[in-house]
Amino acid sequence: MASHDELRDAIAGAKRILVFTGAGISVDSGIPDFRSPGGVWTRIDPLTLSADRIQGSRRDREAFWRAMVEVAESVGQPAPNPAHAAVARLQRRGQVVLVATQNVDGLHQAAGSPPETVAELHGNLARCRCVACGTRYPTAEVLGWLRAGETLPTCQACGGFVRPDVVVFGDPLPMRALDRAHAAAFDCDLCLVLGSSLMVHPAADIPVRARRAGARLVVVTLSTTPVDALCDLRVRAPLGEVFVQAVADLGD
Protein backbone atom coordinates (compact mmCIF):
# COMPACT_ATOMS: atom_id res chain seq x y z
CA MET A 1 0.00 0.00 0.00
CA ALA A 2 1.26 3.46 -0.83
CA SER A 3 2.55 5.47 2.08
CA HIS A 4 1.53 8.82 3.49
CA ASP A 5 4.91 10.20 2.39
CA GLU A 6 4.28 9.17 -1.23
CA LEU A 7 0.91 10.89 -1.21
CA ARG A 8 2.37 14.07 0.31
CA ASP A 9 5.16 14.14 -2.27
CA ALA A 10 2.75 13.58 -5.17
CA ILE A 11 0.64 16.53 -4.05
CA ALA A 12 3.65 18.73 -3.30
CA GLY A 13 5.06 18.22 -6.80
CA ALA A 14 1.86 19.22 -8.62
CA LYS A 15 1.07 22.71 -9.87
CA ARG A 16 -2.35 22.16 -11.47
CA ILE A 17 -4.48 19.68 -9.53
CA LEU A 18 -7.94 18.49 -10.51
CA VAL A 19 -9.53 17.30 -7.27
CA PHE A 20 -12.29 14.76 -7.98
CA THR A 21 -14.43 13.77 -4.99
CA GLY A 22 -17.09 11.18 -4.28
CA ALA A 23 -19.25 10.00 -1.40
CA GLY A 24 -16.27 8.81 0.65
CA ILE A 25 -15.12 12.35 1.42
CA SER A 26 -18.41 13.08 3.20
CA VAL A 27 -18.69 9.90 5.28
CA ASP A 28 -16.92 11.56 8.22
CA SER A 29 -19.58 14.30 8.09
CA GLY A 30 -22.17 11.69 8.97
CA ILE A 31 -23.69 11.34 5.49
CA PRO A 32 -24.51 7.66 5.03
CA ASP A 33 -23.40 5.56 2.10
CA PHE A 34 -26.76 4.94 0.41
CA ARG A 35 -25.56 1.62 -1.02
CA SER A 36 -24.41 0.08 2.26
CA PRO A 37 -26.58 -2.33 4.32
CA GLY A 38 -29.37 -0.30 5.89
CA GLY A 39 -28.78 2.55 3.43
CA VAL A 40 -31.55 4.43 1.65
CA TRP A 41 -31.41 2.17 -1.42
CA THR A 42 -32.30 -0.83 0.74
CA ARG A 43 -35.53 0.93 1.80
CA ILE A 44 -36.67 2.53 -1.43
CA ASP A 45 -36.33 1.64 -5.09
CA PRO A 46 -33.63 3.96 -6.52
CA LEU A 47 -35.55 4.17 -9.79
CA THR A 48 -38.31 5.98 -7.92
CA LEU A 49 -35.90 8.92 -8.20
CA SER A 50 -35.80 8.96 -11.97
CA ALA A 51 -36.47 11.31 -14.85
CA ASP A 52 -39.29 8.98 -15.91
CA ARG A 53 -41.11 9.60 -12.62
CA ILE A 54 -40.63 13.37 -12.95
CA GLN A 55 -42.14 13.25 -16.43
CA GLY A 56 -44.89 10.81 -15.47
CA SER A 57 -48.30 11.03 -13.85
CA ARG A 58 -49.19 12.94 -10.71
CA ARG A 59 -48.97 9.64 -8.82
CA ASP A 60 -45.43 9.10 -10.17
CA ARG A 61 -44.39 12.60 -9.11
CA GLU A 62 -45.84 12.19 -5.65
CA ALA A 63 -43.89 8.92 -5.26
CA PHE A 64 -40.76 10.75 -6.44
CA TRP A 65 -41.14 13.37 -3.73
CA ARG A 66 -41.85 10.83 -0.98
CA ALA A 67 -38.56 9.15 -1.86
CA MET A 68 -36.76 12.49 -2.08
CA VAL A 69 -37.95 13.44 1.41
CA GLU A 70 -36.43 10.20 2.72
CA VAL A 71 -33.14 10.97 0.97
CA ALA A 72 -33.06 14.52 2.37
CA GLU A 73 -33.82 13.30 5.88
CA SER A 74 -31.05 10.69 5.60
CA VAL A 75 -28.54 13.39 4.67
CA GLY A 76 -29.70 15.71 7.46
CA GLN A 77 -27.73 18.91 8.05
CA PRO A 78 -24.08 17.80 7.96
CA ALA A 79 -21.02 19.96 8.54
CA PRO A 80 -17.81 19.77 6.52
CA ASN A 81 -15.06 17.55 7.92
CA PRO A 82 -11.25 17.88 7.89
CA ALA A 83 -10.96 16.32 4.41
CA HIS A 84 -13.16 19.08 2.92
CA ALA A 85 -11.06 21.63 4.80
CA ALA A 86 -7.87 20.07 3.41
CA VAL A 87 -9.17 20.48 -0.15
CA ALA A 88 -9.89 24.16 0.56
CA ARG A 89 -6.39 24.48 2.00
CA LEU A 90 -4.88 23.12 -1.21
CA GLN A 91 -6.91 25.72 -3.09
CA ARG A 92 -5.53 28.51 -0.92
CA ARG A 93 -2.03 27.24 -1.76
CA GLY A 94 -2.86 27.93 -5.41
CA GLN A 95 -2.39 24.34 -6.58
CA VAL A 96 -5.96 23.46 -7.59
CA VAL A 97 -7.50 24.25 -10.99
CA LEU A 98 -10.92 22.81 -10.10
CA VAL A 99 -12.80 20.71 -7.58
CA ALA A 100 -15.15 18.38 -9.46
CA THR A 101 -17.51 16.59 -7.11
CA GLN A 102 -20.09 13.85 -7.52
CA ASN A 103 -21.61 14.88 -4.19
CA VAL A 104 -24.76 16.96 -3.81
CA ASP A 105 -24.14 18.07 -0.22
CA GLY A 106 -22.43 21.45 -0.78
CA LEU A 107 -19.80 20.66 1.85
CA HIS A 108 -16.84 21.84 -0.23
CA GLN A 109 -18.30 25.33 -0.31
CA ALA A 110 -19.18 25.14 3.38
CA ALA A 111 -15.54 24.29 4.12
CA GLY A 112 -14.27 27.38 2.31
CA SER A 113 -13.93 26.34 -1.33
CA PRO A 114 -15.15 29.31 -3.40
CA PRO A 115 -18.37 28.27 -5.20
CA GLU A 116 -16.98 29.30 -8.58
CA THR A 117 -14.12 26.78 -8.16
CA VAL A 118 -16.45 23.80 -7.54
CA ALA A 119 -18.09 21.90 -10.42
CA GLU A 120 -21.10 20.02 -9.00
CA LEU A 121 -21.46 17.17 -11.48
CA HIS A 122 -24.65 15.84 -9.88
CA GLY A 123 -26.17 19.12 -8.71
CA ASN A 124 -26.91 20.33 -5.18
CA LEU A 125 -29.57 18.96 -2.84
CA ALA A 126 -30.03 22.36 -1.19
CA ARG A 127 -31.71 23.78 -4.31
CA CYS A 128 -34.93 23.08 -6.20
CA ARG A 129 -36.23 24.51 -9.47
CA CYS A 130 -39.43 24.69 -11.45
CA VAL A 131 -39.24 22.58 -14.59
CA ALA A 132 -41.51 25.03 -16.43
CA CYS A 133 -40.16 28.51 -15.69
CA GLY A 134 -36.88 27.82 -13.89
CA THR A 135 -37.76 29.65 -10.65
CA ARG A 136 -35.49 28.39 -7.87
CA TYR A 137 -36.41 27.57 -4.28
CA PRO A 138 -34.39 26.42 -1.27
CA THR A 139 -35.06 22.73 -0.72
CA ALA A 140 -35.76 23.47 2.95
CA GLU A 141 -38.68 25.67 1.86
CA VAL A 142 -40.06 22.98 -0.46
CA LEU A 143 -39.77 20.34 2.28
CA GLY A 144 -41.74 22.73 4.49
CA TRP A 145 -44.57 22.73 1.93
CA LEU A 146 -44.64 18.94 1.98
CA ARG A 147 -44.63 18.75 5.78
CA ALA A 148 -47.53 21.22 5.79
CA GLY A 149 -49.62 18.80 3.76
CA GLU A 150 -48.77 19.30 0.09
CA THR A 151 -48.20 16.03 -1.75
CA LEU A 152 -46.82 17.63 -4.90
CA PRO A 153 -44.80 20.87 -4.69
CA THR A 154 -45.78 23.38 -7.37
CA CYS A 155 -44.16 26.63 -8.42
CA GLN A 156 -45.57 29.73 -6.78
CA ALA A 157 -44.77 31.73 -9.91
CA CYS A 158 -46.34 29.58 -12.64
CA GLY A 159 -47.82 26.43 -11.07
CA GLY A 160 -45.25 24.14 -12.68
CA PHE A 161 -43.71 21.05 -11.10
CA VAL A 162 -40.85 21.74 -8.69
CA ARG A 163 -38.00 19.24 -8.58
CA PRO A 164 -34.66 19.06 -6.75
CA ASP A 165 -31.72 20.55 -8.62
CA VAL A 166 -29.88 17.23 -8.59
CA VAL A 167 -29.16 14.62 -11.22
CA VAL A 168 -31.51 11.65 -10.89
CA PHE A 169 -31.52 8.41 -12.86
CA GLY A 170 -32.00 9.20 -16.55
CA ASP A 171 -30.99 12.86 -16.27
CA PRO A 172 -28.07 14.30 -18.24
CA LEU A 173 -25.27 15.84 -16.23
CA PRO A 174 -25.30 19.66 -16.07
CA MET A 175 -23.40 20.66 -19.20
CA ARG A 176 -21.52 23.63 -17.76
CA ALA A 177 -20.17 21.60 -14.82
CA LEU A 178 -19.23 18.72 -17.11
CA ASP A 179 -17.48 21.02 -19.60
CA ARG A 180 -15.47 22.63 -16.81
CA ALA A 181 -14.43 19.24 -15.47
CA HIS A 182 -13.35 18.03 -18.93
CA ALA A 183 -11.35 21.21 -19.49
CA ALA A 184 -9.61 20.74 -16.14
CA ALA A 185 -8.88 17.10 -17.00
CA PHE A 186 -6.94 18.22 -20.06
CA ASP A 187 -5.18 21.06 -18.20
CA CYS A 188 -4.16 19.41 -14.92
CA ASP A 189 -0.84 17.75 -14.12
CA LEU A 190 -2.38 15.69 -11.29
CA CYS A 191 -5.86 14.25 -10.94
CA LEU A 192 -6.44 13.54 -7.26
CA VAL A 193 -9.45 11.27 -6.67
CA LEU A 194 -10.76 11.34 -3.11
CA GLY A 195 -13.42 8.95 -1.82
CA SER A 196 -14.91 7.83 -5.12
CA SER A 197 -15.36 4.26 -6.31
CA LEU A 198 -15.44 5.65 -9.89
CA MET A 199 -18.44 3.46 -10.69
CA VAL A 200 -20.95 6.17 -11.66
CA HIS A 201 -20.66 7.33 -15.25
CA PRO A 202 -20.20 9.62 -17.09
CA ALA A 203 -18.64 11.54 -14.20
CA ALA A 204 -16.23 8.67 -13.48
CA ASP A 205 -14.76 9.01 -16.99
CA ILE A 206 -13.14 12.33 -16.06
CA PRO A 207 -10.11 10.95 -14.12
CA VAL A 208 -9.44 8.52 -16.98
CA ARG A 209 -9.46 11.43 -19.45
CA ALA A 210 -6.97 13.27 -17.24
CA ARG A 211 -4.66 10.26 -17.12
CA ARG A 212 -4.81 9.78 -20.88
CA ALA A 213 -4.06 13.49 -21.38
CA GLY A 214 -0.80 13.05 -19.48
CA ALA A 215 -1.69 13.88 -15.87
CA ARG A 216 -0.64 11.69 -12.97
CA LEU A 217 -3.57 9.82 -11.45
CA VAL A 218 -3.70 9.39 -7.68
CA VAL A 219 -6.70 7.62 -6.12
CA VAL A 220 -7.32 7.68 -2.37
CA THR A 221 -10.33 5.56 -1.42
CA LEU A 222 -11.00 2.41 0.58
CA SER A 223 -12.85 0.50 -2.14
CA THR A 224 -11.37 -0.95 -5.29
CA THR A 225 -12.01 1.01 -8.49
CA PRO A 226 -12.09 0.11 -12.19
CA VAL A 227 -9.06 2.36 -12.79
CA ASP A 228 -6.72 0.96 -10.16
CA ALA A 229 -4.42 -0.42 -12.86
CA LEU A 230 -4.08 3.06 -14.41
CA CYS A 231 -3.07 4.77 -11.18
CA ASP A 232 0.36 6.26 -10.64
CA LEU A 233 -0.36 6.04 -6.92
CA ARG A 234 -3.11 4.07 -5.18
CA VAL A 235 -3.84 4.67 -1.48
CA ARG A 236 -6.35 2.49 0.40
CA ALA A 237 -6.80 4.30 3.69
CA PRO A 238 -9.32 6.67 5.31
CA LEU A 239 -9.02 10.23 4.00
CA GLY A 240 -8.99 11.55 7.55
CA GLU A 241 -5.80 9.64 8.21
CA VAL A 242 -3.70 10.02 5.07
CA PHE A 243 -4.98 12.90 2.93
CA VAL A 244 -5.64 15.34 5.75
CA GLN A 245 -2.20 14.72 7.23
CA ALA A 246 -0.47 14.89 3.85
CA VAL A 247 -1.92 18.35 3.21
CA ALA A 248 -1.13 19.48 6.75
CA ASP A 249 2.50 18.52 6.19
CA LEU A 250 2.69 20.87 3.19
CA GLY A 251 1.97 23.91 5.33
CA ASP A 252 0.19 27.06 4.12
Phi, psi angles (nearest 5°) of residue 101:
-125, 140
The DSSP output letter for 42 is G
Residue of 108, 122, 182, 201 with catalytic role: 122
Look up 122 and say whether it is catalytic.
yes
Phi, psi angles (nearest 5°) of residue 217:
-120, 120
CA angle 22–27–28, rounded 5-degree value: 130
160 to 87, 133, 136, 154: CA distances (angstroms): 38, 7, 12, 5
CB 53 within 8 A of CB 44: no
Give the three-class secondary structure for 48: helix
- Determine which helix (DSSP H) or strand (DSSP E) holds 58, and give its type and residue range: helix 58-75
Q: Which of 188, 129, 201 is nearest to 10 (CA)?
A: 188
Give catalytic residue positions: 122
